[in-house]
Structures are given as C-alpha cells and as structure tokens.
Amino acid sequence: MPKILRIAVVGHTNTGKTSLMRTLIHDSGFGEVSNRPATTRRVEGAALMVDGEPLVELYDTPGLEDSIGLLEKLERMRGNLGLDWTDTLRRFVDSDEAEGAFAQEAKTLAHLLQCDVGLYVIDARDRVLGKHKDELEILGRTAIPIVPVLNFVASDYARTDDWREQLARANMHAVAEFDTMVLDFDSELRLFETLKVLAAGFRPTIETLVEHVSRQRSLRIDASANLLADLLIDASACLVVAERDDESRSSAILDGLKERVRQREQGFIAQLLVLHEFDDREFSHTALPLRNGAWGFDPFSPEALRQFGISTGSAAAAGAAAGLAVDVLSAGVTLGVGTATGAVIGAAIGAAREKGREVLSRLSGETQLRVDEATLHLLLIRNARLVEALFRRGHANHDPLRLNDRTADRQGADTWRSLKSDIRRMRAHPEWSALDAAEGQSLPAGRRAAREEAAAKIGALLFGLLDHDPGTHVERHGSKV
C-alpha cells in the first residue's frame, strides 16, 4: 500500500470545510455543519480506506477568523526573533500566545504544519477582502503545498475569476473548483489530479485512490441497476387471480397487489439509500419527491404518470383498476400471460381503466391482474432519476432532493422500449416475482438470467445519465452579504 497522505482542510470560517469533508468521505454524519460561523472548534479527522487500509487522512479544522491580527502578530514575532517564516509559525503554535486570542487559528496552523498538503476552502461568493489576502499570506508561508478549493461555484454569485486572479498573485495556480452540494465526479477527479501535481511525492497514493474511487462508482452503478432490475421483475411478473363472483374479495386482492408493489418500491428506495450511504432519515422531512422515504406520488396514480410524461392513452387511469392490467379468463378462453398484450387485452385494459371496478365485476369467471405497462415504465424512469440524483448529491447536502432534469425520461423511454421483450418474458413467469416469496426463499434460475439481461440495459441507461452534463441539476444559491 502506498504511503498515507495527510490532508488538512483549512480556510476562513463558514466557507464549507466540514461540508467538503462530508462530500469527500461520503458521510453525511461527519462533524457539524451550520450556517453560523465558528461551528467547528477542534480538529477532527477521517480516513479514506482502500482494501481495509487507510490511504488518505483528512482533517477538518476550525475556521481562520482573525488573519489580519494574526499576520501582524506573526510579523512582530518574526522581527523580534529573527527567524524565517516557517520557524516563526512553528514557534507561534507552540507558544503561550497560541492559547490566547488566536487559539482557533493556532489549532489549525499547528495541524496544517503536521500534514503533507492543505486544501484551502474558499467561499467563491465572497468578495476578495484584506482578511483573505492575509490568510493566503500566512498559508503561503507554512512551506506546506496548498491547493485552493473554490467552493459554492454553482452559485450565480460565484466570483470565480476574481478569486483565480487573486490566487495567482499569491502564486497559487493549481486551483480546484467544487460545490459540496453537488457531487460532480469530474470535479472530484480534478481535485485529486491537482493534488497529484502539488504533492508529487504522493503520486502512487493518489493514483490508487483515484482508481479505487472510480471502481467504487462503477460498482455502485451496477449495483443500482441490479436493484432496479429486481424491482421491475417483481412488479412485472407478479400475477394475482381475482374471483368474479366475490366483488369485495376481488377488490381486496386488487388493493393488496397495489400495496405490495408500493411497499416493494419503498424497499428498493431503502436499499438504494444504503448503497449510496445516505441516511433515510435525511429524506423524512423533505418535500419532493421523497416523503418519509417514499415517493410523493403513488405509483398507481395518474399524477405520477403525468409527472414523468408517461402517456396513459385515452383511458384515464382511474378507479379500482388503475395501474393494473387485466387478463381475462372467460368462456374457457384464456387470454393467457403469453398473449397478455395486443388488441384484445388492450381493449380490456382500456375498459377496466375507464370503468374500474364496474367492468371487473362484469367480466365473467376468473380475472388475472397484474401491474400495467405504464406503471412499470414509471417505476423504471422515476427510480432511474432517483439513482441519478443520489449519484449527483453531495453528502453535505440537506436540501430536499429535487429531480429537475428530464434526460432520464427521454433516455429512459428508449430503455423502456428495449426492455419490452424482457418484460414480456417476465410476465410469462409469475414464479419469478419475489413479491410473494418468503424471506430467504431461493428464486428460480430463469429469474437470475432475466435480471442480468435487464440490469445490463438499465446499467447502460444509468451510465448514460451520469455522463451527461447535469445542467439544470445545479441549484442556484443566493448571494452572501
């Protein structure tokens, strides 16, 4: 294993240092984040592990508050002692002075001096002021390589150019840009690349880290695709039989099927949040689209279909049969699973949608019910969008999860078309659905093959979504006074 790289995250107070830590270590529970200054009062560390071994140690530090006063003090000290800057700084952090008015700054500088590199976090919305210039002056004299990280760059008010100019004047040319609310994988890689240039002795460490981070991302995309494929199989293959003669029992069976699909989707979301290392409590109070860890709209509601631009045809999905397709067993003719599509069944579905329970009750004999295609399409698209949003969400972000981008709907519609034959096969195998399977029950081999094929197509969709420019994903944030 290459040698451990120690990184100190430093900067003015309230610039997003703790948030950057959370983003880089994918842990929304790290430290305390708040809009008031001086939230972090002591140095706190976390390690990025590869194969069970720490590879990078990151240290969050208290914010620098009075750099103007500190620089004056250091200059006086240096004049009196006749030392160079680095020795003056070392002497300062060991002195009694470090316990007094500059205690916060001293803790941070003492830690920076023990690290291999510093990330200097800047709120890019800030005007470049004297206090920042003095901070840069002090940091530049530590003899530790410093990588400035422009944070809040997604804001309309970011003064990125002003900052780059100022940093160049301080001889800092390798600058990283970030927004800790939006986890942009490319910015993360660029940050590591910049570190590689400035901490040249740690190239193998950073290369191992980049390889690890990229591999983890691919594995997470594949795992998300598998989870989504499982959801689709469970919902597509599931079949229930309702008795024509007993209307109240039939409608209970129907409601039962819907409820199991809802719960199955919720189970999928819970698994997805674990996979992406988000705590589902984070989503319990947010408005759109997740409420209490579930989608705001019921998957069987016409609103949900409309929200994702899925056409429900002329029959407005309404009534008891909304979201369910109907196979009819009547007069000895089975419009069985294999032929569950086509004009005949299409008419039955349309009629059932229009009149709901009433039509069901008029069908003679036994009625087979399954989740209809529009709802399956919805399950695919909205959950692909959710996967995309989770990939793009920084772990410092506590805003409600928003899905602004429609790319998933367009690309998802293509994937949906390519999945049609898979779905038809799933529908021919009700035994593949785990909706009714007991916990731990092994599932048929055919299902495993179907999952692999569906997951490959869904994985391609997810990779495509994550490759495109997020554009409207980025929220705009207000100016700072």
SS3 content of the chain, % helix, strand, coil (to 5): 55, 15, 35
Q: Kindly write out the interface string for residues 134-173 of this chain, putting x where it contacts ligand GTP by CB under 6 A and - elsewhere.
A: -----------------xx---------------------
Q: Which amino acid is at 108?
A: T
By CB under 6 A, which span of 30-38, 49-57, 93-101, 234-242 interacts with ligand GTP?
Answer: 30-38
By CB under 5 A, which span of 11-19, 323-331, 375-383, 471-479 interacts with Mg ion?
Answer: 11-19
Q: Does the footprint of ligand GTP cover residue 14 (CB under 6 A)?
A: yes
Please select the residue that binds ligand GTP; options are 39, 266, 286, 330, rule is CB under 6 A.
39
Q: Please report how close the Cβ of residue 276 comes to ligand GTP at its closest, in angstroms.
A: 19
Would you give the end-to-end CA distance of the chain in angstroms? 46
Helix (H, G, I), strand (E, B) or coil at 78: helix
Q: Tokens in use for 427?
A: 């529908």
Q: Which helix (H) or strand (E) holds 343?
A: helix 342-355
Q: Kindly write out the interface string for residues 40-79 of this chain, putting x where it contacts Mg ion by CB under 5 A and - elsewhere.
A: x---------------------------------------
Q: Please report how close the Cβ of residue 39 comes to Mg ion at its closest, in angstroms.
A: 5
The span from the CA of 318 to the CA of 300, in Å, is 9
Return the number of the residue (15 or 307) whose C-beta is nearest ligand GTP.
Answer: 15
Return the number of the residue (110 or 232) whose C-beta is nearest Mg ion.
Answer: 110
At residue 123, φ and ψ (nearest 5 deg) are -85, 105
Q: What single-letter DSSP state applies at residue 356? A: T
Positive or negative, the Cα torsion across 98, 104, 109, 114? positive
Contact 257, 371 (CB under 8 A): yes
Helix (H, G, I), strand (E, B) or coil at 71: helix
The span from the CA of 103 to the CA of 30, in Å, is 23
Q: Does the footprint of ligand GTP cover residue 187 (CB under 6 A)?
A: no
Q: Does the footprint of ligand GTP cover residue 476 (CB under 6 A)?
A: no
Per the omega criterion (within 30 degrees of 0), is the bond before 302 cis? no
From the list Mg ion, ligand GTP, none, which binds 100 (C-beta under 5 to 8 Å, kind-based)? Answer: none
By CB under 5 A, which span of 39-47, 103-111, 390-398, 451-459 interacts with Mg ion?
Answer: 39-47
Please select the residue that binds ligand GTP; options are 1, 3, 29, 37, rule is CB under 6 A.
37
Return the number of the residue (63 or 302) whose C-beta is nearest ligand GTP.
Answer: 63
Interaxial angle between packed helices 85-94 and 103-114, expressed in degrees from 0 to 180 and rounded to the nearest 10: 120
Please select the residue that binds ligand GTP; options are 5, 7, 10, 16, rule is CB under 6 A.
16
Q: Please report how close the Cβ of residue 15 comes to Mg ion at its closest, in angstroms.
A: 9
Q: Does the footprint of Mg ion cover residue 18 (CB under 5 A)?
A: yes
Q: Does the footprint of Mg ion cover residue 15 (CB under 5 A)?
A: no
Work out whether strand 146-151 and strand 176-177 pair parallel, antiparallel, or are unpaired. Answer: parallel
The span from the CA of 78 to the CA of 109, in Å, is 16
Residues making contact with Mg ion (CB under 5 A): 17-18, 39-40
Residues making contact with ligand GTP (CB under 6 A): 13-19, 33-35, 37-40, 63, 151-152, 179-181, 396, 477
